[in-house]
A = this chain, B = another copy of it.
Amino acid sequence: MAIATPEGYRPLNEGTVGVFLAALPTIRERLGGEPTGWRVREVGDGNLNLVFLVDGPRGAVCVKQALPYVRLVGESWPLGLERARFEWEALRVQHRLAPGLVPEPLHFDEQLYAIVMERLAPHIIMRKGMIAATVYPRFAEQIATFLAHTLYFTSDLGTKAAEKKRLLERFAPNVELCKITEDLIFTDPYMEHERNRWTSPQLDDAARAIREDLPLKRAVAELKLKFLSEAQALVHGDLHTGSIMVTATDTRVIDPEFAFMGPIGFDVGKLLGNLLMSYASQPGHETRRGERVEYQEWILATVQDVWNGFERRFLELWRSRPEGDAFPVAHFPGPDGARALEAARRTCMRRLFVDSLGYAGTSMIRRTLGLAHNADMETIADPDRRAACERRNLALARELIVEAGFFPDIAAVADRARIVARG
C-alpha cells in the first residue's frame, strides 16, 4: 500500500533528477553544459533517503530526497517528509557557524523535500576509511572545531535567549526523528523487543545481562530524560562516523536530519562512542595478529584529541565571545571575578564531559544490541571473532555509562579502553 504524500511530491529517480535540476538556474550554471550531458547516479546507502550524485561538464552537486518511509525497513515504517526541511535548516545553521565543515547548501525544494548541496569528492564515509585502517591526521582538529562552533553558538553561552528560543520553536516539531533516537538508543536495547538483534548465540548472555542490569538501566534512563528535556544547543543528533565524509585533509559533517535542541554531550558522546566502537572492532579486521595495534592507538589518540580539542575550543569561544545571556560577564569583574568565572567554565565542561561519556556508552550498546548496527562490526564475517569484539565494546560501554563520573579525564577513558581490549 502506497503511503499518502503531499501534492507535488514524487520520488526522484536517475531519469528525473536532471529535469528537476535543469529548472534551477544557479544549479544548471554550476553543472554546466546541457542536462543531457549530466551523469546521474543514485548512491543512497543510508537508512532513510534517496541520494543522487550529479556530474556536469563544469561542476557537480548532490541531491538528497526524503522518502516517506524508513528505507532500511520499508513502507511498513512510515516517516514524515518534513525531516528534509529540518535537515536543510540545520545544515544552513551549521554552514554559517562552521563553514567548510559541512557540504555547502545550495537549494531546497519544498514540494519534493529534496536538498541540493555541494557534491563532496573525493570524500568517503569515514567509517569505511576506518574499517580500512586509514589515518585522518586533520580529523580530530576539524571535527572539534565543528562541535565547538555549532554547539557553542547555539547555546545560551554563545547566543541570546531570543535567538535560541527561535531555534527551539523551529526544531521542537522534529518529533519523529527524536522518537527514533528515544526508542532505538535509550529504550529497546534494554528490554526484549522485536527490533533488537545481536550476534547470536555468542552474545545472548551479554544481551541478557544488559537487560537485567538495573544500575545501568537507571543511568540510561537519566540520559534519556536529559535527551528529552535539556535544550542546551542545536545538536546534529546523529553524529557518528557514518555521518562524516573525509579525505586525508578535509572533514565534512553530513545528514543533520535528526537536529534538535538537545544536550551538547549527545553529539560529542555519539562521536566518541563510534570511535571507541571502531577501536573495539579493529582486531576483527586483522589478517595477522597485531596488525591493527598501531591503528588502534591512532584511534585512541583521536578520541583524546577530539575531546580535548572540543573542550579547548569551546572554552576559547566562551572566553572570547561571551555573546549569550548565561553567565553575564558584568557579574565577574576584575581578577577575582575572572577566576570565579573560569572556575564556573571548568565545572560546566566537566558536566559536558560526564554527559558525553554516558551518551558514548549508549551509542556503543545500541549498535551492538539494537536495530541498526555498524559496518565496523558487521563487516567482520566470522561471528565468533565479531562477537569477541562486540563483547569488549559492551564492557567498555557499560563502564562509560555507569561510571561516567569517575573518569577524571579523557586519557583515563583511553587507558580503560586499552585494558578492556586486553581483557
Contacts and interface: CB of A to CB of B under 8 A. Distances in A.
Given A214-B340, A225-B326, A331-B217, A161 B173 contact: no
A326 B228 contact: yes
B191 A179 contact: no
Interface stretch (A22-30, A115-123, A133-141, A164-172): A164-172
Interface in A180-201: 182, 187, 190-191
A178 B191 contact: no
A169 B162 contact: no
A319 interface: no
Interface residue tally of chain A, by bracket?
35 or more
Contact of A344 (B168, B173, B222, B232): B222
Chain A interface secondary structure, helix, strand, loop or mixed? helix
Interface string A192-228: 0000000000000000000000110110111011001
Given A228-B325, A325-B182, A326-B225, A332 B214 contact: yes
A327 interface: yes
Given A155-B229, A228-B325, A229-B232, 4 more contacts: A165-B172, A214-B337, A221-B331, A229-B231
14 contacts: A155-B229, A156-B228, A162-B179, A166-B172, A166-B173, A169-B169, A172-B172, A187-B328, A191-B328, A214-B332, A221-B327, A222-B344, A224-B326, A224-B328
